[in-house]
Amino acid sequence: MKKASALILSLSVLLASCSGGDEEVGSLDEGAASVDEDNKTLTIALGTDVVTFDIHDHNNTSTEAVHDNMFNYLFKRDENNNIQPELVETFEQVDELTVEMTLKEGVTFHNGDPLTSEDVKFTLERVATDDTLQEYPNYNQISEVEIIDDLTFRVITHDPEPSLLHRLSRLGSSMLPKTYIEAEGWDYFLANPIGTGAYQFEEWVRDSQIVLTPYADYYEGAVEEWDEVVFRVIPENSTRVSEILTGGVDIAVNVPPADWDRVNGNAGTAMETETSNRTLMLILRATEGFPTSDVRVRQALNLAIDNGAITESALRGGGVPTKTRIAPGNFGAEESLYDTYDYDVEEAKQLMEDAGYPDGFEMTLHSPRGRYLQDAEVAELVGGMLQAINVTVNVEFMEWSNFVEMRQAGTNKDAYLIGLGNSMFDGAYSVDWYRSNRFEGETDYKNEEIDSLLEASAVNMDEAERAEQIQEIQRIADEDMPHIMLHQETVNYGVNDRIDFTPAMDEMIYVPSITKN
């Protein structure tokens, strides 16, 4: 009997939540987001577990979001994305290949050992020389770290390296404790990681939770706001949303657009969003034999896609249409190409006719599903829009590992949908996707002008000139259209009213900046 009535109740709940009307959902008696006000535990719901505590051997932003609280970098981006010294007190460019730096005094690891030049050398030379590490390609520009004294050292690169400080302010450049790791071994470190950060490691139950506690001797003073920080792993979207609605967690990452109204309408919770550094785009095949090898076809496809309609309907406003993947806040952003888009179906039709496709053609668009915000919906909308210029799009959805393999094997067809960020916050790493010899056999795009600009900018130590070179590449790409830019994503958090949390563009969840309301 009880079971039957529970069933009927559940059914009616489902009907109410399916009907989609805001009022009906609001009328449900949810809204028990009541957390004990004095509770000094901060709970954050992640969608995926951290991958590892080997900071050199992963490429995962949500893992870095946890690590960020335990480790420090030599430099750090401030809220305006300008690079500021963090563990470094002073630094000076000695010559084109050498930067001399001095560490702050009084920085210690969680076991009490002081941070010294030895640790810097150990950390950076490991990732710069061990080619089995995932972060190796981002640090092998460093040839060595030369120790001057306990706190002073020189970072020396193989070639002039304009992005060095960008590299030293991100994932992969966290400072590791040399003595501790050499005495205890890597396996022990991975199970009991220590850093110099504001929070220290307490416990990691895989696929369940990571617990951190404040480090009493933190060089900037212990953080007293929270006695404990718990990162819980909740892969299922609806479960994560339910947790934020009931006050089970203080922050829930990646709340899907369909649930934004519920979180905002619920007593005690609200959505907080910020544009992320990730841009969604279509990568086109420029290989001979594909219609997309003709620049006029690429331009036509771009003109037939209404980026604004995509961000309005599929993303419910959660996205910024763009013509470049380098957003403001990144070095070398061409701001005139941001927050704008081209849409002109008539001109697109004309270009199609000029290119010899007055009756259109059929093309394949590969898309992952569930990897990016509303990715499947975006792919379908794009397919629908291209119908207006007689292009029939077969959208092929792929599970992520198959998608990766498709790209690796170069079996991509006319286009694929992908979302790309830039953890360096340096535009050079985004425009590198236009370099011709990087994607031979995959997209086969080649533009000699871009190639020579890339080559020149890679070793250009003149900041202003390098920025101009990167901007010029974006302007050329906007004409030549090897990739069709769609929009910059937002990161979307459900947040309990008891805390004050400002999301960051780099998707870090930096606990020392989160306070009680």
Partner 1 sequence: MGSFLLKRLAQIIPVLLIISFIIFALVYIAGNPVALMLPDDASQEDIEQLTASLGLDQPFIVQYGHYLLNLVQGDFGESFRYNTSALPLVLERLPATLELAIAAMIIAVAVAIPLGIWSATQQNSPLDLLASGGAVIGKAMPNFWLGIMLILLFSVSLGWFPVSGRGTFAHLILPAITLATGIAAEITRLLRSNMIEILNQDYIRTAKSKGIRNGFVVYKHAFRNSLIPLITITALQTSTVVGGTLITETVFSWPGLGQLLIQAVNTRDMAIVQACVFVIAILVILMNLLADILYRLLDPRIKYD
**Based on CB atoms, which residue is closest to partner 1, 137 or 384?**
137
Question: What is the per-residue DSSP string for 169-215?
Answer: TSTT-PPP-HHHHHHH-HHHHHHS---SSSEEEEEEETTTEEEEEE-
Contact 284, 292 (CB under 8 A): yes
**Based on CB atoms, which residue is closest to partner 1, 234 or 363?**
234
Q: With binding defined as CB under 8 A, does residue 448 bind partner 1?
A: no
Write down the least CB distance from residue 452 to partner 1, Å.
20
Burial class (CB in 10 A: 0-12, 13-18, 19+), 494: buried
Take residue 507 and report the two structure tokens written for it.
């998707």
Closest CA to 76 of 199, 211, 175: 175
Q: With binding defined as CB under 8 A, does residue 408 bind partner 1?
A: yes
Write down the least CB distance from residue 89 to partner 1, Å.
33
Q: Which stretch binds partner 1 (CB under 8 A): 47-55, 269-277, 314-322, 479-487?
A: 47-55
Out of 39, 152, 179, 242, point to the residue binding partner 1 (CB under 8 A): 242
Q: With binding defined as CB under 8 A, does residue 15 bind partner 1?
A: no
**Based on CB atoms, which residue is closest to partner 1, 34 or 93?**
34
Alpha helices (runs of H) in 202-271, residue ranges in sequence order:
237-246, 260-265
The pairing of beta strand 41-46 with beta strand 228-233: parallel
Angle at which helix 295-304 crosses helix 375-386, to 10 degrees, equals 110
Write down the least CB distance from residue 48 to partner 1, Å.
8
Angle at which helix 463-480 crosses helix 448-458, to 10 degrees, equals 160
Q: With binding defined as CB under 8 A, does residue 40 bind partner 1?
A: no
What residues from 220 to 239 belong to the interface with partner 1 (CB under 8 A)? 232-236, 238-239
Write down the least CB distance from residue 472 to partner 1, Å.
23
Take residue 283 and report the two structure tokens written for it.
């990568």
What residues from 172 to 201 belong to the interface with partner 1 (CB under 8 A)? 187, 190
Phi first, then psi, for residue 120 (nearest 5°) are: -65, -45
Burial class (CB in 10 A: 0-12, 13-18, 19+), 7: exposed
33 vs 268: CA distance, rounded Å? 5
State the number of binding residues for partner 1 (CB under 8 A).
51
Q: With binding defined as CB under 8 A, does residue 59 bind partner 1?
A: yes
1 vs 11: CA distance, rounded Å? 15
Write down the least CB distance from residue 60 to partner 1, Å.
10
Out of 108, 192, 246, 390, point to the residue binding partner 1 (CB under 8 A): 246
**Based on CB atoms, which residue is closest to partner 1, 29 or 36?**
29
Contact residues for partner 1, defined by CB under 8 A = 1, 3-4, 6-7, 9-11, 13-14, 17, 28-30, 32, 48-49, 51-52, 54, 57, 59, 131, 134, 137, 187, 190, 205-209, 232-236, 238-239, 242-243, 245-246, 248, 400-401, 404-405, 408-409, 438
